[in-house]
Amino acid sequence: MRKPTLLLSFALILLLGGSLLHATLVPRMSVEQMIDDSELIVHGTVLRSWSDWDNARQFIWTHYELQVSDMIKGLPSVKLVVSEPGGIIGETAMQIAGAPQYEIGDEVVLFLHRTPIGYLRSSGWGQGKFGVGRPVGGGRLVVRSAVSGVSFVEARSEQPTGLKKVQTPVANFSGLALAEFKTRLRTLIRTRATGEGR
């Protein structure tokens, strides 16, 4: 009897709180802001996933093991774990609107920052997740912005980070060939490291 009660409760939450669950409000980030915010930028493939409680047993997180094929920013690594809030453990489900999800075999480029509890997760509520694939009909690998389930709010022009006011929208990078995408990222990373891009 417990399972139907849990499912009914979850359905009521979805119905009553649908407007709250529909989208998460997040500040829109530029490519430069994501580079600065990210400890790592990686190109890789999702190998496996599992859900677990955080150490305080307050929130469920889903963890994804990533086979790294190219470390664009950060120290070299063969594998790493990306964690996003939400998931299912037994009869307990936690859904967070806008939290990126991955499938086994997904090829992605990810901008990753370190959370206060030590997990690596995509920057900007999924703004830092780009899917990699071929266009319909074949051709070169391209990247596509994979953000969903969020509503953007524009950040104030006075940024405390000291970044330039003119920033590159993420949409400008979506649709680029993978090789060009990574080349442009590495150029931006270099110029920002030397202070030229600030």
5: left (phi over 0), alpha (psi -120 to 50) or beta: alpha
Count of CB atoms within 10 A of residue 116's CB? 5
> What is the predicted pLDDT for the residue at 116?
95
* Least confident residue range of 44-53, 111-120, 157-166: 157-166
Rounded Cα distance between 192 and 186, Å, is 10
Examine the pLDDT at 152 and tell me if it is beyond 50.
yes
pLDDT range class, residue 72, cuts 50, 70, 90: very high
- Whole-angstrom Cα distance, residue 68 to residue 181? 17
**Mean pLDDT (whole number) for 128-141:** 91
At 198 the pLDDT is 58
CA distances (Å), origin 163, targets 160, 181, 184, 196: 8, 21, 18, 11
With 50 as the cut, is the pLDDT of residue 24 above it? yes
CA atoms within 13 A on the CB side of 180: 11
Kindly report the CA angle at 86 between 82 and 89, in degrees rounded to 5? Answer: 105
Torsion sign, CA atoms 57, 40, 181, 194: positive
Asked whether the predicted pLDDT for residue 162 surpasses 90, the reply is no
Average pLDDT of the segment spanning 46-55? 97
For all residues of the chain together, what is the average pLDDT?
Answer: 85
Strand 60-73 versus strand 142-145 pairing type: unpaired
